[in-house]
Amino acid sequence: MALRNILVAYNGSPSSDAALAVALYMQRQYGTHITGLMAMHSRLDVKGQPWLTAAIRTSILDLDRAHVREVEEKFHANCASADSDKTHWIERRADANSTVSEYAQMFDLTVVGRRDSVFSEERSVYHPDRIALKSGRPVLVVPQTWAEPLFADHAVLAWDGNRSATRVLNDAMPLLEAKRRVTVLSIAGSGLAKPLDGIDVTTVLTRHGIAHQYVVVDPGRKSVGETLLHECESRQAGLLVMGAYEHSKFREDIFGGVTATVLETSPIPMLLSH
């Protein structure tokens, strides 16, 4: 399925500007619709604060409205050269992650900035791992440092043959088909699933006309997450495609894991599916 409908979780931060830049790049490539979504709680739950005067409540609501208008204006300014008939805006006063997850179910792809620079406005912080987990839809996580030439040229598909890897393989097809190079990367000793008789990941990619190579690397003393990032850097990849949370998210939150490592440190965009 081609990409035709992209959601951008937008809060005006530098990371969400990077997410919007990637979405605009994909609009130029695929002719997609782009919808910016800003979701946040009110500065105070004024209904739950009966001691507040009417004047204070009005001031709080005015501050919220002014902030949203400022973010919306920035979104439209960044989209000034885009196709206006295919650029849309939605705002919601609600929990940021739950709202984006709900809307993501109606889109081909949700693009979210990496959460390395959005903590100044906690009411509208987006957590891409939670959005992917709750929505069941693919999420593209974009750091501020993304580079368009690398993104356009080369993708690395992290492959272990398990459920989340096969899910992200199918979700990523529109992006992989547009790359000049794809590397299928497996980590030795990391629980590779046995290929099915008669078909494997290389067969699937070949039938989609995707030029690729398959490599298995030894992590040595590195963790799986560190190995993935090292291989992406050494191969000058511009996109990492991987399944999220093959183990439970609770376990990764407590003990760390591949998804958490890559989300926090990847210098290149990362496509997640769960």
pLDDT band at residue 274 using 50, 70 and 90 as cut-offs: confident
Q: Which domain holds residue 76?
A: 5-142
107, 89: one domain: yes
196, 133: one domain: no
Q: Residue 122: what pLDDT?
A: 54
105, 178: one domain: no
160, 209: one domain: yes
Q: Which of 142, 172, 202 is the last residue of a domain?
A: 142
The helix/strand/coil state of 242 is strand
239, 164: one domain: yes
64, 91: one domain: yes
Q: What percent of the chain has pLDDT over 90?
A: 60
Q: Which of 142, 158, 175 is the last residue of a domain?
A: 142
Q: What is the CATH number of the domain that holds 31?
A: 3.40.50.620
From the list 236, 212, 221, the residue with the least C-alpha distance to 189 is 221
26, 99: one domain: yes
166, 125: one domain: no
Q: Look at strands 270-273 and 181-187 and give their pairing.
A: unpaired
183, 253: one domain: yes
What DSSP designation does 196 have? B
| 231-256 per-position pLDDT tens digit | 999 999 999 999 975 544 434 443 34
212, 133: one domain: no
230, 180: one domain: yes
Helix (H) or strand (E) holding 237: none
CB atoms within 10 A of CB 212: 18
Q: What percent of the chain has pLDDT over 70?
A: 84
CA dist 95 and 131 (Å) reads 12
CA dist 16 and 25 (Å) reads 14
Q: Is the pLDDT of residue 120 over 80?
A: no
Q: Which of 111, 142, 173 is the last residue of a domain?
A: 142
The helix/strand/coil state of 231 is helix
CA dist 191 and 213 (Å) reads 20
| 169-210 per-position pLDDT tens digit | 999 999 999 999 999 999 987 678 888 899 999 999 999 999
State the total domains in the chain: 2
User: Residue 194 contacts by C-beta under 8 Å, 6 or more apart in sequence?
Assistant: 161
Helix (H) or strand (E) holding 273: strand 270-273
Report pTM.
0.87
113, 203: one domain: no
